[in-house]
Amino acid sequence: MDHVIYLATLVGTALVLAAAFSSLIAFRFGAPLLLLFLGIGLASGVDGLGLRFDNAPVAYFAGSLALAVILFDSGFGTPVNVLRQAALPAVTLATVGVTVTMAIFGVATHYLTNFTWLESFLLGAAVASTDAAAVFFLLRAGNIHLRDRVRSTLEIESGTNDPIAIFLTITLVEVIAMGVDPEAKVLVTDLIVGFFLTMGLGAAVGILGGFGIVRLVERLNLDHGLLPIFVLTLSLLVFAGAGALGGSGFLAVYLAGLVAGNSQIRAASVLKRFQDGMSWLAQIIMFLVLGLFATPSQFPAILGVSVVLGLFLIFIARPFAVWLCLKPFRFPKTETAFISWVGLRGAVSILLAITPLLSGLEHGRDIFNSAFIIVLVSLVVQGWTVGPLARRLGLIVPPRPGPIEKVELELPGSAHHELLSYRVVPGSPVLRGERLPRWARPSLVVREGRSMKFPDFGRLVAGDRVYIFVSDRYPALLDRLFASRVDVDPEDADFFGAFAVDPERPASELEAAYGPGLAEAEMNMTIGELMLSRLGGRAEYADRLTLGPIELIVRDIDEKGKIIGVGLSFEPTPPQPVIPENLRERAGALFDRILRRPVKEKAGEEA
């Protein structure tokens, strides 16, 4: 017995270490990390090293717990300002977008495979949601700096579309298992009522659970080593409680993290570091388990049609759903194209594809294998091209601050104050004459191993470690003061225009100098007010506004969204190329040529 325990531990830890080391390869070459994790699982499985794992309930249980941990961390790390920027379009993508994707993909699946209508829509529901971990790892690994609205939309969509896909998948599995007529009006009514009931209960439990977590953390004087475990356990309690009441446990745990992360919870820095590590571990375990559960020797029978379905999802179903959802929000074509392309499928799709096996559906294994291949196609085709496409569409903007070396330390007994530690890096504003505000005078400076108190240290020098005791609601000014200069790529040297203009100057000066054709009311505005008006009342870093022969670029904004820096360019940026408009038609024609024979055969069978 001991020998079995040691062997299982050895194999398990070896797999986790292999997955952890593979992240170094992913960061080095910008590869999709999920693809490497799945590859290790496949290589270790029954068709690789021979590790046999075919227990569907255990795989689904482990994957669900891991996903709950990931969603709580995702919500905990989502600030409120991100919600303000892109909540409505992102939630539209997460609800309407998932449903539309499922419908379009389901129709194609029915005509290209031997699945029934409900089974086709079931496969569509399983692959309809995007994978947040895969998307944001690629953005970080590729050092891709996107406009805030685009990044926020992708982040919120990825965190909120999983509960919708899970509801649709489980509901369709239950309907197929019970043999309900898909055309029955009662079924449609039950689906609508069940959706709002499930999501409503999940949202209520999640919000209440989030406030409950914050209150317990504030009331109980737990040791800092125990506190992160306590919070993680409470998040799983919220997940399980919502599910037991008939609500969406995944939506509940995400909202609980969202509420807790934005409630000035005690020991927030400790919790963030712990949850970041637990989220990585959960991803590794989930991906490895799903990789081990798959059987690659079964793939050849459905490989061709699954690859075509994966391409159909990438080039037709997802782009159409994104275009339909974002059209009311007036996203530029380039941003819409990029958001549709970054809809990577991942572990959630594979996890949901296990549910047909749990219910013993006739084509359950085929549905799982198809979903697995579709995920691989998505990761290979989209995962390697996120960075190049962002550059081609002109969506990458120069980073605002340079590197900041900062550590947040929360002091015992001080729930709303933090001790920030900055390392003065070469080129930071504090070395160029910028003064620290009175409320942020350093409490301690460590220079060459010696501790000095204010004002004994004199002027700060590069390499100093500065400790500042401030409220946890400190302004972003401190980060700017201690940030280094940004190393701008030579290709981006003129990104912000030929020179700077004062946003407080009257807009009438632009009319007098360049004649852009401003309206009478706009002549009485400042340049900053004019830009806000033309940009719809809200400006973002790197926003561009073309006015006749000139272009105004937002160089900087303050915490309240006011424009405080503007650049002027004499050569307005030409429209960036987007994905060819006839690509969808060409892809459809290609699918017809490839699959004409299977379709005819199926039609003959039905006849």
3-state SS, one letter per residue, for 500-522: EECCCCECHHHHHHHCCCCCHHH
Question: 3-state DSSP call for residue 32?
Answer: coil
> Could you tell me how many residues make up the chain?
607
Domain that residue 268 falls in: 2-392
The conformation of residue 507, written as its DSSP 8-state character, comes to T
- What tens digit of pLDDT does each residue of 501-535 get? 899 999 999 988 888 888 888 899 999 999 988 88
Flag whether pLDDT at 574 surpasses 60. no
Tokens linked to 556: 């900087």
The SS3 call for residue 192 is: helix
Residues 6+ apart with CB under 8 A from 587: 311, 312, 315, 316
Residue 84, Ramachandran bin (φ over 0: left; ψ between -120 and 50: alpha; else beta): alpha
pLDDT band at 590 (very low <50, low <70, confident <90, very high): very low
Q: What is the dihedral of CA 487, 490, 495, 498, to 10 degrees?
A: 100
Confidence of residue 555 (pLDDT cuts 50, 70, 90): confident
HSE-CB at 380 with a 13 A cutoff on CA atoms is: 11
CATH code for position 440 = 3.30.70.1450
Let me know whether 521 and 432 are in one domain.
no
The reply to whether 186 and 256 lie within a common domain is yes
Query: Do 272 and 359 share a domain, yes or no?
Result: yes
Average pLDDT, whole number, for the chain? 82
Predicted confidence (pLDDT) per residue in 380-410, tens digit: 898 888 878 888 887 888 766 655 656 666 6
User: Got the DSSP string for 304-344?
Assistant: HHHHHHHHHIIIIIHHHHHHHHHGGGT--HHHHHHHHHT--
* H or E element that contains 600: helix 583-606
User: 4-32 pLDDT, tens per residue?
Assistant: 777 778 877 887 787 777 667 666 655 66
DSSP 572: P
Do residues 322 and 282 both lie within one domain? yes
- Cα separation, 266 vs 260, in Å, equals 10
Domain shared by 139 and 232, yes or no: yes
Q: Please check whether residues 463 and 552 belong to one and the same domain.
A: no
Would 597 be classed as within a structural domain?
no
What confidence tens digit (pLDDT) does each residue in 220-247 have? 888 778 899 999 999 999 999 999 999 9
DSSP H or E run through 160:
helix 148-178
Backbone angles phi, psi at 567, to 5 degrees: -110, 155
Instruction: Find where tokens 């290979």 sit.
Output: 380
Select from 165, 164, 256, 270 the least CA-distant residue to 207.
256
Average pLDDT of span 349-376: 93
What torsion do the CA atoms of 163, 168, 171, 173 make, to the nearest 10 degrees?
-110
Report the CATH number at residue 523.
3.30.465.10
Tell whether 76 and 219 lie within a shared domain. yes
Residues 345 and 378: their CA atoms lie apart, in Å, by 6
**519 and 459, same domain (yes or no):** no
Q: Point out the domain boundary residue: 466, 482, 498.
A: 482
* Cβ neighbourhood burial of 404 (10 Å; 0-12, 13-18, 19+): middle
Residue 596 domain flag: no
Confidence of residue 484 (pLDDT cuts 50, 70, 90): low
Q: Are residues 274 and 375 in the same domain?
A: yes
pLDDT in tens, 429-467: 888 777 777 777 788 888 888 888 777 777 888 888 888
Judge if 441 and 545 occupy the same domain: no
Sheet of 544-547, strand order:
499-501, 563-569, 550-557, 544-547
pLDDT at 597 over 60: no
What's the pTM?
A: 0.80
Q: What is the pLDDT of residue 181?
A: 62
pLDDT band at 143; cut points 50, 70, 90:
low
CATH code of the domain containing 120? 1.20.1530.20
Q: Can you tell me the distance from the alpha carbon of 282 to that of 274, in angstroms, rounded to the nearest whole number?
A: 12
Q: Does some domain include residue 471?
A: yes
Q: Which amino acid is at 570?
A: F
Q: State the Cα–Cα distance between residues 399 and 542, nearest whole angstrom.
A: 10
Cis peptide before 577 (omega within 30 of 0): no
In a domain, 585, yes or no: no
Number of structural domains in the chain: 3
Q: Give the integer Cα–Cα distance in Å for 540 and 81.
A: 12
Give the H or E element holding residue 375. Answer: helix 364-381
Q: pLDDT tens across 76-89, in order? A: 988 887 777 788 99
